[in-house]
Amino acid sequence: MDMRVPVGISNRHIHLSEQHLKELFGPFHQLTKLRDLKQVGQYAAEETVTLIGPKGKINNVRVLGPVRNQTQVEVSRTDSYLLGIDPPIRDSGDLRGSAGLTVVGPYGEVNLDEGVILAFRHIHFSNEDAERFGVKDKQLVCVEVEGARSLVLENVLCRVHKDYRLEFHIDTDEANAAGLRNGMELEVIIPEDEKEQAISYEKLRKQEKQLVLVLNCGSSSVKYRLYEMPTARLIAKETIQNVKSSEYETVLQSIVDRYSSYAISIVSHRVVHGGEAFKGSVIVDEQVKQKIKEYSRFAPLHNPINLLAIEISEKILPEAMHVAVFDTAFHQTMPPSSFLYALPYKYYEQYGIRKYGFHGSSHRYVMNRAEQIMETPKEKLRLISCHIGSGVSVTAIRYGESIDTSMGMTPLAGLAMGTRSGNIDPAIIPYIEEIEGTDSAGAIEILNKNSGLLGISGVSSDLREVTAGAKAGIERCQLALQMFTSRLHSYIGLYLAILNGVDGIIFTAGIGENHAEVRQKICNGLEFAGVILDPEANRNMRSEGFISSPYSPIKVMVIPTNEEWIMAADAYQLYVNSPDSEKGIQQEKDREPVNGEESRFDKPQLEVV
């Protein structure tokens, strides 16, 4: 069977809407046909325009008729460099989020916010031609170029319409590179490999640059980042403080309005508690929102706000994909011996009482950076990650998976923190109730907000102020600093034993990244295990790198955390890889079980008594 198609090289051109035709050429102007094109009803007009970009301009750009519903400019990559714009590779009419420029005609000019594309290489098929070739509309095929410069052009889009005439369209840059001329005939190759067949225009379309809005909505603040992915270029960032619950919609709307010139296609939301339902980040759907609501029992200050932000954002950006990234997800690889409490088993089985862990995105980010810094695959590394900020948690990581962590069912458990007590004898709680004349909620409030560094020092929850007080001779500040560091020291010793030795120890977050004295105090006494700090490197560390001696068997690192980048990367990967039908909990169900464990989705809904 003859599987050859003729070549039609497409020069730069513009299709105008009726409105823009009037603005450029006058209110009563009609296009004058210069010559017919091969496709039925299409023609080159006598009219030309000038394209002006940030860096340059191109004169005498041909207008093609007839007029369309929206203006579309098709240029080559070389043209885009001259103009100083970065248009995406798109099918005709797919203009959302494309590049803009200024179009100048004899009567006026038009400023396009979007509409400039590099045309996706494509073949026009009539219904009869499509049946003969065995292709469907939007299918991707290959085209073989024979001769001295033999090559195969992949990802050629099939366009099928009853009025189309058989022709392969390619822009001037690609035609010149392939040595093509108008009228040449090329062989069409239909992919037979299943992986090649699975590639679609929609999938390739998703792999172009996308804007990801990362939202971290706390109980009284909104922290956001705007990323271009997959380049990871940070476009904007801000933290808005003192936000009331009634003000979230106004604040989120103002953020979107501020960047209205950007086409935000993905929104990534931080969610504090995902329980056992979520082992990774997921596309938000109604089931996901219901689970977030259920887990509000375990995170009453955070999950309701996280859910509110999701629902508001869905209303403001209904066309965007919304993704939930859970603090607890990274720790769902912990074995039962790590996550269970020594309570009657029914409390776990029926009510979900267990250790969940937090700061998961932070621990995952620094693990990935350690893999690069140590030049060793994470699947071969044993690491201890110390996230030390106003909240503190330590995680034991074996071969890329969390196997234990210091925080528990809530962030109150584990180490002493800025205002949190960390682990205490549970029998203390009813005694505090009796002393303070309060109930259990009041006692928990004291443990959450009046304890830790603040409670012991009596000065501040800020370690910088506590350290200054210790140096000034204030005994309670000295005691608070000693308790803070000695408990971290103890957890590292515990995880050294659990991991049967480690390859690296990571310090991250505000205190971990910036407080050399604390890092020194934590590591003092661990020399027997192979932890040997370089005092000068520790003292002078200002960014990322090793602070251990070159002769230290265990490498000690400072790695600034970037939870927002993890959130952006997760959301972008879901956008690229997940069809719309695979969302939320169903998507989680379809994943391979972690560590060979069976799915726990069929357990009863969680309650707290």
Which of the residues are catalytic? Answer: 327
Distance CA 47, CA 605 (A): 67
The residues near 415 (Cβ < 8 Å, ≥ 6 apart) are 392, 393, 394, 406, 422, 423, 484, 487, 488, 491
Instruction: Sheet containing 210-217: give its strands across.
Output: 233-240, 222-229, 210-217, 264-271, 321-326, 282-283
- Burial class of residue 123 (count of CB atoms within 10 Å of its CB; 0-12, 13-18, 19+): buried
* Cα gap 383→401, rounded to integer Å: 10
Quote the tokens at residue 272. Answer: 């504090």
- The DSSP secondary-structure symbol of 295 reads G
CA 447 – CA 454 distance, rounded (Å): 11
Q: Identify the H or E element spanning 282.
A: strand 282-283
The one-letter amino acid code at 70 reads Q
As a whole number of angstroms, the distance between CA 488 and CA 522 comes to 6
Which tokens in the block code for residue 237? 């960032």
As to burial, measured by CB atoms within 10 angstroms (0-12 exposed, 13-18 middle, 19+ buried), residue 354 is: buried
Q: Measuring CA to CA, which residue among 284, 254, 259, 287 is closest to residue 269?
A: 284
The conformation of residue 418, written as its DSSP 8-state character, comes to S
Cα–Cα nearest to 189, from 136, 129, 133: 133
**Residue 57 DSSP label:** E
| Helix ranges restricted to H, 237-359 | 248-258, 286-294, 303-316, 336-339, 345-351
List all residues 6 or more positions away from 91 whose beta carbon is below 8 Å from its beta carbon.
119, 120, 122, 157, 159, 201, 205
Distance CA 326, CA 314 (A): 18
DSSP 476-536: HHHHHHHHHHHHHHHHHHHHHHHTTS-SEEEEEHHHHHH-HHHHHHHHTT-GGGTB-B-HH
Q: What are phi and psi of 570, to 5 degrees?
A: -60, -45
- Residue 562 to residue 222: CA distance in whole angstroms: 16
